[in-house]
Amino acid sequence: MSKRTDRLLKENNEQEKRLNAENRRVLTDIVVYLRASNISPWRQELVRRDIRQMLADGEARGEDAAAVIGNDYKAFCDSVLAEIPPMSRGERLLGLVRDLLLGTAALAGVRLFSGALSSALDGGWPRLTVTAGDLASAALILAGASALFAVIGRGAFGGRAADRRLFALFFGFWLACACLSFFLRRPLLHVHVLAAAAVPLMLLAAYRLLDRKLD
């Protein structure tokens, strides 16, 4: 994210600590909902700041969140978001690429560590083996993470019903990934550990460049 967004994010995080426990809980749900909305990170933090200030002012008057923004928090958020220009299709696409870069870098780093450890124990150091299951499960994990993010955001105010859907989705993706890794064991390529180490580093560098330009 840009420096201005990063500064506002840290400011919001610090100021939220001054709210009472109930207002922090409500604001957390609101922020989760905002994260899944179609507005830029900078605008998300601006909205977050304004709502946090509204709750703080209400708290000073002895009012709870319902008295300040109403009982239907989702409807309140939707009314606020309706007044904010959404991201364009191109911005959404670049945002998706950015998130995929970060997720792929994280998965590559985990696979590098586990693969290096396994190769060292098996005497195959310094080469790593990449299987069809590794690639298939990685693709499924990225798709699952995106789906989980959407479910969490849309179900921010859904209570236990949303929690059950989230658990079922998480368990389903975990089971599918475990099956892919178990059954698709055919090696696709062998990579030197140093070459493998460069992959997550390059992905992370590309992510940081794109993240700064998007906002």
**Domain range summary for the chain, segments of one domain joined by +:** 3-81, 89-214
Fold of 3-81: c-terminal domain of poly(a) binding protein (1.10.1900)
Q: Which pLDDT does position 159 carry in this prediction?
A: 60
Q: Which pLDDT does position 173 carry in this prediction?
A: 75
Dihedral angle of Cα 35, 41, 46, 47, to the nearest 10 degrees: -20
Percent of the chain with pLDDT over 90: 37
Residue 119, both tokens: 């190769």
Q: From start to end of the chain, where are the E strands? A: 127-131, 187-192
- Please state the rounded mean pLDDT for residues 128-149: 84
Q: Which pLDDT does position 158 carry in this prediction?
A: 67
- Could you tell me the CA-to-CA distances from 204 to 14, 80, 91, 99, 135 in Å, in that order? 27, 34, 19, 10, 18
Residue 181, both tokens: 């890794």
Residue 132 host element (H or E): helix 132-154
pTM: 0.74
Other CB atoms within a 10 A radius of the CB of residue 152 amount to 19
197 or 144, which is more confident: 197
- Could you tell me the CA-to-CA distances from 133 to 77, 189, 199, 210 in Å, in that order? 41, 12, 18, 29
Local confidence band at 81 (pLDDT 50, 70, 90 cut-offs):
very high
Is it the case that residue 64 has pLDDT exceeding 80? Answer: yes
- Whole-number Å distance between alpha carbons of 30 and 20: 15
- Please state the rounded mean pLDDT for residues 102-118: 86
Q: Which pLDDT does position 15 carry in this prediction?
A: 92
Residue 166, both tokens: 């989230």
Between 29-38, 94-103, 121-130, the lowest mean confidence (pLDDT) is in 121-130
Contacts of 138 (CB under 8 A, 6+ apart): 104, 107, 111
Local confidence band at 115 (pLDDT 50, 70, 90 cut-offs):
confident
